[in-house]
A and B are shown apart, each in its own frame.
Chain A
Amino acid sequence: MLDKNGIAKRIAKELKDGYYVNLGIGIPTLVANYIPEGISVTLQSENGLLGMGPFPFEGEEDPDLINAGKQTITTLPGSSIFDSALSFGMIRAGKVDLTILGAMEVSENGDIANWKIPGKMVKGMGGAMDLVASAKNIIVAMQHVNKAGESKLLPSCTLPLTGTNCVKKIVTELGVFDVLPEGGFKLLERAPGISVEQIKNSTAGKLIIEGDIPEMVL
């Protein structure tokens, strides 16, 4: 089974040289720590920055320089800064190659819910609806089941949607899944020590298993 860092590490293998990538809050942010050797990606932060650098050294924090998670960060040589309309303009125009974000639920046709639990939690969608409506490639990083032990990979979402038919891939602590255009979660890899049976038991949506499923290599 993967921990949060393991999920991030596995997703980092999906990065390609030259990609512009938007990382959501939570596990997706950790992906930045595992960018493979020899690959250069540019991180987009939707509050208005391309080329997000690492956290500043203590004492060098700049309150005017934060990322979309409101964390203090740094720029890099080659960074650019712009307003929020331009930031979402480049997202809407499909210039960002890959969006990685968390989710509460994903359905077998690629719908995603991650912004609201009616009556309980009302934090808002932030930039997630814009991102999922326009991104060319969306990978979801999440736990396979919720705190109540219920599958988050569902036939259809029960929570208010963030976007429809948009998720392409999911990485959980149990495995890696493609969301097929015709519907269904196709199991690609098992997490270390996890059996196909365990994945079957934790997946409520249509699971597609073809042939032997390899254990992932991190």
Chain B
Amino acid sequence: MNKVVANADEAVKDITDGATLMVGGFGLCGIPENSIAALVKKQVKNLTCISNNAGVDDFGLGLLLQQKQIKKMISSYVGENAEFERQLLSGELEVELIPQGTLATRCMAAGYGMPAIFTPAGVGTEVAIGKEVRNFNGKDYLMEYAFDADFAIVKAWKGDKHGNLIFRSTSRNFNPLMAMGGKITIAEVEELVQPGELDPDQIHTPGIYVHRIFQGKDYEKRIEQRTVRAKG
């Protein structure tokens, strides 16, 4: 079994206009930088992106927004991106804001083969409009459907040709959930290793969920809020 492709361009080659993509990362942490760059280069349009955030003006999904390649964003928090806010308020961009835990769990449900989940998040708010409410043990829950995404694009720390993935630190975030949730999952990794080098006990995403994997390059790993403390 060999799921390795040469590079980002090859990995995204069949992503076409109008596709629905899950894109991993939280803020700029753990985003698939190489794949996003390849999508910008490929100039695919009318994308629907499921991603917790929308990047910043000049990095992450912000690069796709700049080129007006995104038709719709499904996110939980988009506060860091002025171009996003402009496109939203002007009506150029369709946006569905949903609770962060709901977003994560709808990705997970897709990978667990469960059509829907029940969550109390959003009960009694405008998020609940048009959704089925069920009462369990005296508390109301919203029924939220599993996502149906054509592709998931994730970034891992290490991976092998079987598609097994290990994430590093809090760059894990949505990546393993989206990896399991996409119909076709593309993983870019910082280190592509030989089978056997990853301890089976330590694998976060089993390779069965991953269809293509490639060795990423030139990771910028931009920091959004650099906060430090003084020494001594």
Q: Do A and B come from one complex?
A: yes
Chain A interfacial positions (CB closer than 8 Å to B): 45-49, 54-58, 60-67, 69-73, 75, 81-85, 87-89, 91-92, 111, 115-116, 119, 122-130, 133-134, 160-164
Interface string of B192-207 (1 = CB under 8 A from A): 0000000000001000
Which one of B125, B224, B227 lies within 8 Å of A55 (CB-CB)? B227
- Starting from the known contacts A63-B171, A64-B171, 12 additional A-B residue pairs (CB-CB under 8 Å) come to A66-B224, A83-B174, A85-B104, A85-B107, A85-B108, A88-B105, A89-B105, A119-B89, A124-B79, A124-B97, A125-B98, A129-B99
B29 within 8 A of A: yes
Pair B229/A48 contact, Cβ less than 8 Å: no
Pair B231/A57 contact, Cβ less than 8 Å: yes
Given that A64-B170, A72-B228, A129-B122 are contacting pairs, would A47 and B76 also be in contact in the complex, using a CB cutoff of 8 Å?
no
Bound together, the chains give a CA A134 to CA B76 distance in angstroms of: 17
Pair B119/A55 contact, Cβ less than 8 Å: no
Pair A130/B229 contact, Cβ less than 8 Å: no
CB distance from B62 to the nearest CB of A (A): 14
A91 nearest in chain B by CB position: B101
B185 within 8 A of A: no
B27 within 8 A of A: yes
Given that A72-B227, A133-B121 are contacting pairs, would A65 and B97 also be in contact in the complex, using a CB cutoff of 8 Å?
no
Pair A63/B29 contact, Cβ less than 8 Å: yes
Q: Tally of A-B residue pairs with Cβ under 8 A?
A: 180
Bound together, the chains give a CA A60 to CA B224 distance in angstroms of: 15
Given that A54-B229, A56-B229 are contacting pairs, would A65 and B107 also be in contact in the complex, using a CB cutoff of 8 Å?
no
B228 nearest in chain A by CB position: A58
Pair A66/B172 contact, Cβ less than 8 Å: no
Give me 25 A-to-B residue pairs in the complex whose CB atoms sit less than 8 angstroms apart, sorted by A's number. A47-B26, A47-B170, A48-B173, A56-B228, A57-B228, A58-B229, A63-B28, A66-B26, A66-B225, A70-B28, A70-B29, A72-B223, A72-B227, A84-B26, A119-B89, A122-B88, A123-B78, A123-B79, A125-B97, A125-B127, A129-B122, A130-B100, A130-B119, A133-B120, A134-B121
CB distance from B50 to the nearest CB of A (A): 13
Bound together, the chains give a CA A57 to CA B126 distance in angstroms of: 42
